[in-house]
Structure 1
């Protein structure tokens, strides 16, 4: 795995029901307060928060499948546009739920975060990239 690929891909931490809904193609937009120019693959991290657990039924997702503090899938950001609430909608396409979540990965408050220098996160990102099937340059 080249460092070029590892350095380019980022992750976004999202509360479990919304993260799963994105990966399953049930939620085509992620809403944030800040715009992004980022386009391309983004890893979807299911945060440890249970604050949005009441939303599982809204998406028809069984809460029992939720793995928290894990990279559970990936999506491709194609656009970012203002929404009606004064925030921004990130258009998520080509979403996928990984067959095997990459567990034990602590998220980050930043909108997008990378592997840093943490060997555990580097390994997690390598595993995620393999599951996405990204071509290495």
Structure 2
């Protein structure tokens, strides 16, 4: 093969890879958008859950101050404690389930963007390669 045909073949490969990079990047952006929308829904759901939890705790507090017959005092105290503990444990469980690894995701996303920019800069620095893509 001649140098010209090797160059042409290489530039065709570069064009092919750059086209696939654009397709891959677009599919990732589409996925990221869908994920962001799901996170927004989850955030709204978490806010609703927190309001519900606060309302529940207020109910438990009102229940705790309720006048109860002496024969139920022990049960009332135990029930109040159990209701409060349930709310606490549920909140802890919700925290574990919903704690996002946001800082890790942002760091990796930043690194991904930097790599993509370096690829595009590398391609654009070489006019022949840039015109092929």
Q: Which band: TM-score by shorter chain?
A: under 0.3
Q: Determine which structure has greater relative contact order: mean sequence separation of CA pairs < 8 Å that are 6+ residues apart, divided by chain length.
A: 2
Q: TM-score, with normalisation over the residues of structure 2?
A: 0.22
By percentage of residues, which structure has more helix?
2
- Where is the strand percentage greater, Structure 1 or Structure 2? 1
